[in-house]
Structure 1
């Protein structure tokens, strides 16, 4: 896409010359090496995405991400991706970007370091400001960007709720401003993405994104079988012909002590059933085809049922009613973002099964970022960095280090933030 940097707009008094500014963004918090170039062409509109280059570490044969392999992968690819992107779009020392944004955390320390140190070097060489971005803030703010499947839905309005399910995170966040976030629901143990991946692996599936493979497998199951599976009683093994037990954690529990996601139980259920089932089919096979379809469908469906159940309980505790505190009353926008947010079944269940009566709102606007922006990407890092730069006039010092664990409610409570001078700020943002 070709982007015009010089735009003429008409004001009530005269024609004004506008200079857009370009942002180079880099992401390498886990197993994706990404660089992107964005153009902030208008003060009141989201940035345009000029381009993104991305490579993903292939971990299919090793059963998960090996940290040392991820570090080597980023060291091999981040700089070369940036070089190719810059060459394609005429970015150089004589025509540098105006701002550099890089993921500072949370994430794997070695992976983060690869792009942070590289970004520092570019910041010094090109003499442009650097912004170290919170990875989950990047996911949270993707709903500001245009949405292909929701072209008529604009950005969310504060306060809004976000279900963030990316990497080791599964949480529901109440956001009142760019940096004012309250964790309403968090996860205990493994995250939903880990649970889906591990369950899919136990079912014999193979691939680099096992949660996506599980979704494709479930989507191909005939509806008549799904109807049969849904009628099954799985409260005990003896209650169904498959001898499979699967219950939803904390189902119906109404206590703040139980207000967290718990996904380890689903993996345990599959592992226990695998041990029980061993030896009941021909050697070399794991399950008969229909049993495998049943397991795949019920695991994905009940994991999402658990998420819906906990969110509805959070609505009840923080909505209306004599025992509620009312902090969510009136919230009208809900974002679902992160890798698992690309699952269309989860999206449908959120739209149809959340109980909005507890929030005292007639309807909720759901924001689902484009599928390409659900997985880790540099575009979201650039967008979040632009927000921090424009709204708070913040940049990062060259002494910043990676942050492995960085709570969403403490985005500004870390070292390395520097408020920019008016001259430096205006030198970038020349609207």
Structure 2
């Protein structure tokens, strides 16, 4: 059991006076996410989550888990003029936006039925009229990792609601929520299909397997965002073991930095309200390759990326320069990690207006030669293509090493979950699929959330919070923001609760 959940773990079986969590069939969650520069609020209703958590032990488990989003919106800080995320600008944006976003969400709470206990309802102003609504069962909030000032704004708003309504509060690990997002997607799809899905399962004789969370544990999680790059062995809701992590920059940060170097100035100037430079780079290099609407997941396999897998330590361009694949030249024992700082430095040298790099095959390194003109748009497009290619080659190689290591331990993995903001990149999914097939992992499915749930959002916090709540986890009003929060396993026998201020048992 990992440290961050040992500090929260319920111990109701062995300790008297602690109540076993109820098997709640319907759960209403209000969630707040503010780990970076997006203010987000969601209201999620889930059904049969508890039964899905025990489905593997109970063949008589009831219907599959379903979910319905009553509200899911976010407001992003305007940071384009800063050419990236700025902690102060993000904190100001949260202070301006989050309370208003919460007010907008409250009318979306389900209407209270006549037979509902009045203590479990609340009156909300809806277009000038007070309407009786169902209170959430609890408040979920991102408590880390992330920027302290941003997290604190979200946590304090969540505490305010918990105090005002007398509700429990649950702190959620941001990256764990990303890893569990594909399970939310399956539950939402089941919820939309409703009884038809359940009837089809019964008619087909499908029992516990279809009633458990999908994708089923264990699975491998590649969590890729602007602040994180980690490969995780996900055993269950609370047990996640980090297999590899970045030694320096996160992959999303690296792509953004390289995109700002590569993209022509006219493109940068035309996207004043956007700060997702990685997405802009994808569109610049592969126009029209990511046409999927926000509600649709999956890879556009019809696009010709012109990609061929390679085991070389570098990729050489048609312009003569080469980009190294991170860690590929290191001994095998040092390759099971992520690193992007060297790639960023190499790109800085390639876009230098005075000089450019030319690969010297005899010396096995780049030579610096004078430039006669600035990089053309075609050369910039080639720079962008190779920047993404070597970046995703590096991710794919590390994923394959993780799968091989798990196989050696006897763990058969059927699913690779790719989550976080960078998972929206269609070229990344193409590179992963090609390399997995080539390495003999063709049966490993790649699961990614729809575009709207790839980036930071409160729906994933609500879902992860619902699973934790059903498992008996609770926080307290002393909860503090955590800038860093490891998903690693904890091998010690004692739990340092001071690291997780406010954590307690249910």
Q: Which range, TM-score by smaller chain?
A: 0.7 to 0.9
Deviations 1:288-324 (A, max 9, x none): 121111111111111101111222233334433xxxx
CA distance in 1 between counterparts of 2:69 and 2:349 reads 47
Correspondence for 1:311 among 385, 399, 402:
399
**Where in structure 2 are the equivalents of 1:30-429 lying within 5 Å?**
30-43=36-49, 44=52, 45-89=65-109, 93-94=122-123, 95=133, 96-146=135-185, 155-204=214-263, 206=268, 207-220=274-287, 242-251=319-328, 255-275=332-352, 276-277=355-356, 280-281=372-373, 286-320=374-408, 326=409, 329-354=411-436, 363-391=443-471, 393-409=472-488, 414-420=500-506
Structure 1 residues 382, 219: closer, same or farther in 2, change over 3 A?
A: same
Q: More deviation in 174-183 or 109-118?
A: 174-183
What secondary structure does 2:249 align onto?
Answer: coil
Bigger mean CA offset, 119-128 vs 409-418: 409-418
1:25 aligned partner:
31
Give me the whole-angstrom Cα distance separating, in 2, the residues matched to 1:228 and 1:415: 48
Shift of 1:249: 2.1
Cα pair 2:229 2:250 within 8 Å, conserved:
yes
CA contact (8 A) 1:342 1:371 kept: yes
Q: CA deviation at 1:341?
A: 0.5
Equivalent-residue separation in structure 1 for 2:140 and 2:453 (angstroms): 17
Q: What is residue 11 of structure 1 aligned with on the other side?
A: none
Change (3 A) 1:164 1:245: same
Q: Distance in 1 between matches of 2:43 and 2:391?
A: 36
Q: Distance in 1 between matches of 2:227 and 2:288?
A: 29
Q: Say if 1:179 and 1:409, in contact at 8 Å, map to a contact too.
A: no
Note closer, same or farther for the CA distance 1:299–1:20 as it changes in structure 2 (3 Å cut).
same
Alpha carbons 1:34, 1:54 under 8 Å: kept: yes
Per mean C-alpha deviation after superposition, the further-off stretch among 292-301 and 144-153 is 144-153
**Alpha-carbon separation, structure 2, partners of 1:148 and 1:188:** 35
Q: Judging changes above 3 Å, is the alpha-carbon distance between structure 1 residues 395 and 235 closer, same or farther for their aligned structure 2 residues?
A: closer
Query: TM-score w.r.t. structure 2 length?
Result: 0.70
Return the offset for 1:256.
3.3
Alpha carbons 1:93, 1:125 under 8 Å: kept: no
- Give the gaps of 5 or more residues in structure 2: 1-23, 53-64, 112-120, 124-132, 191-196, 198-209, 269-273, 290-301, 357-369
Matched residue count: 387
The alignment partner of 1:262 has SS state of: coil
Distance 1:307 1:61 in 2: 30
User: Is 2:79–2:89's contact at 8 Å kept on the other side of the alignment?
Assistant: no
Deviations 1:357-406 (A, max 9, x none): 67xx7711221111111100000000000011102x11101001000000
Distance, in Å, in 1 between the alignment partners of 2:457 and 2:420 is: 10
Q: Could you say which structure has the greater relative contact order, defined with CA pairs below 8 angstroms and 6 or more residues apart?
A: 2
Change (3 A) 1:235 1:74: closer
> Deviation of residue 203 (structure 1)?
1.0
Asked if structure 2 preserves the Cα contact closer than 8 Å seen for 1:163 and 1:170, the reply is: yes
RMSD (CA atoms): 3.2
| d(CA) in 2 for partners of 1:224, 1:56 | 30
Task: Could you tell me which runs of 5 or more consecutive residues in structure 1 were left unpaired when the two chains were aligned.
Answer: 1-17, 321-325, 421-431
1:356, 1:364 within 8 Å by CA — same for their partners in 2? no
Deviation at 1:74, TM superposition (A): 0.2
After TM superposition, the score normalised by the length of structure 1 is: 0.81
User: Residues 396, 49 of structure 1: CA spacing in aligned structure 2 closer, same or farther, 3 A cutoff?
Assistant: same
Q: Secondary structure at the match of 2:230?
A: strand
Secondary structure at the aligned position of 1:354 is classed as helix
